[in-house]
């Protein structure tokens, strides 16, 4: 079968599975009376990053962890430079203080830590454990924030993007998870076949085609939340997804199978990902202005052009 059909089927499953899983997961969080921003940074972010996790685990088990690394780093660039860029271009986005104080620094830490660990040309199993330790520390801080804000839960979030009836929540979670697992397998099969057919390195395929396919849930969730005025949900989902991708997913992939690093490609992805977060960071006040959205979209376009051009030259 043509690899494109695998990728298309995987993207469709990722979009449908991500939407169902998000609705179910947010419904569960609403039962727990957790504030919208915390829901977005954890439950929503983890749910929308499930395709990346599925792809990474399948790729690592198949002995091609470069796809996992490319997908995680490419998804992070796409999350901030493209998806957040699109959301901010709609209108300025307000960033709560806890997001600036806790999530932005950790999101910046992830590419910096990965760059240091990649200096020896390999992400070893020990490196994977280090990344996972950072993730657990951030998750602990977030859980503590969730306990503090438990009594400030917002019913509007659940009604906007979450299921409310118990049977609907369970069904959404189960069907969504099944579709996400299927999406991961289909995308890995299609991406590897595409890389072999066009003689493109697996990392490049993971950072572009696979990243776009697995980031469909983030795109839908972020844009819909922004259109409904849920700025904290939009930003929390993006930053939480980046932290999940950069620390947990890469950490899991490296723990399963050590990753040989093609430094030219990885350095470019880490640099652009770090730069995109700096552009989005609200240095003064709490607003992320529309001009930042335009700059983020230009940054993503430039990244894709440089990546494709360098592949052709190489």
Tens digit of pLDDT at every position of the chain (314 positions): 687 888 888 878 877 877 777 677 667 666 666 665 676 677 778 877 777 788 788 888 888 788 788 888 888 998 999 989 988 988 888 877 777 788 899 999 999 999 999 999 899 999 999 999 999 999 888 888 777 765 554 444 444 445 567 777 778 878 887 887 788 778 778 877 777 777 777 667 777 777 777 777 777 777 777 777 777 777 888 898 899 999 999 999 999 999 988 787 788 889 999 999 999 998 877 788 889 999 999 999 998 888 777 765 55
Find the DSSP H helices in the chain: 3-31, 36-39, 45-48, 50-61, 65-77, 85-90, 97-98, 104-117, 125-148, 155-161, 166-198, 202-205, 211-214, 216-227, 231-243, 250-256, 263-280, 290-313
Q: Vertex 246, ends 299 and 128: CA angle to 5°?
A: 145
What pLDDT was estimated at residue 212?
A: 72
Residue 43's pLDDT is 73
Q: Is 236 exposed, middle or buried (0-12, 13-18, 19+ CB in 10 A)?
A: buried
pLDDT computed for residue 34 by the predictor: 65
Predicted TM-score of the model (pTM): 0.78
Whether 247 and 112 have beta carbons less than 8 Å apart is answered as no
DSSP bridge pairs for 132: none
CB 242 within 8 A of CB 49: no
Q: Which of 254, 241, 260, 305 is nearest to 49 (CA)?
A: 241
Buried b (16+ CB within 10 A) or exposed e, 155-189: eebbebbbbeeeeebeebbeebbebbbbbbbbbbb
Structure confidence at residue 154 (pLDDT): 47
Q: What is the pLDDT of residue 312?
A: 55
Other CB atoms within a 10 A radius of the CB of residue 284 amount to 5
Cα–Cα distances in angstroms (integers) from residue 218 to residues 121, 130, 240, 253, in the given order: 31, 26, 11, 21
CA count, 13 A, side-chain hemisphere, 118: 22
pLDDT at 156: 45
pLDDT at 115: 94
Q: According to the model, what pLDDT value does residue 171 have?
A: 85
Q: Mind giving me the DSSP string for 179-224?
A: HHHHHHHHHHHHHHHHHHHHT--HHHHIIIIIHHHHTHHHHHHHHH
Of 211, 224, 200, nearest to 82 by C-alpha is 211
Coil, strand or helix at 154: coil
> Measuring CA to CA, how many Å separate 274 from each of 52, 79, 299, 304?
19, 12, 11, 15
């Amino acid at each position: 079968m043509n690899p494109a059909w695998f990728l298309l089927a995987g993207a469709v499953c990722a979009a449908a599975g991500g939407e169902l899983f998000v609705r179910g997961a947010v419904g569960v969080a609403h039962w727990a009376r957790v504030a919208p921003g915390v829901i977005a940074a954890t439950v929503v972010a983890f749910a929308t990053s499930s395709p990346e996790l599925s792809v990474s685990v399948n790729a690592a088990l198949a002995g091609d962890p470069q796809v996992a690394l490319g997908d995680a780093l490419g998804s992070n660039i796409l999350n901030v430079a493209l998806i957040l860029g699109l959301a901010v271009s709609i209108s300025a986005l307000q960033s709560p203080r806890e997001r600036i104080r806790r999530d932005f620094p950790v999101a910046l830490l992830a590419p910096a830590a990965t760059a240091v660990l990649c200096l020896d040309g390999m992400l070893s199993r020990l490196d994977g454990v280090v990344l996972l330790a950072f993730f657990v520390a951030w998750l602990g801080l977030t859980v503590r924030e969730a306990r503090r804000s438990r009594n400030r839960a917002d019913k509007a979030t659940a009604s906007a993007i979450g299921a409310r009836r118990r049977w609907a929540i369970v069904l959404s979670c189960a069907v969504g998870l099944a579709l996400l697992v299927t999406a991961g397998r289909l995308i890995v099969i299609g991406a590897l076949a595409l890389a072999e057919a066009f003689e493109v390195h697996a990392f490049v395929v993971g950072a572009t085609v696979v990243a776009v396919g697995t980031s469909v849930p983030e795109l839908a969730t972020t844009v819909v939340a922004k259109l409904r005025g849920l700025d904290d949900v939009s930003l929390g989902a993006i930053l939480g997804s980046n932290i999940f991708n950069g620390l947990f997913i890469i950490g899991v992939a490296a723990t399963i199978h050590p990753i040989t690093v093609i430094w030219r490609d990885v350095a470019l992805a880490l640099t652009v990902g770090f730069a995109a977060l700096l552009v989005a960071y609200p240095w003064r006040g709490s607003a992320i202005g529309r001009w930042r959205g335009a700059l983020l979209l230009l940054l993503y376009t430039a990244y894709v052009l440089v990546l494709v051009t360098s592949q052709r030259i190489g």
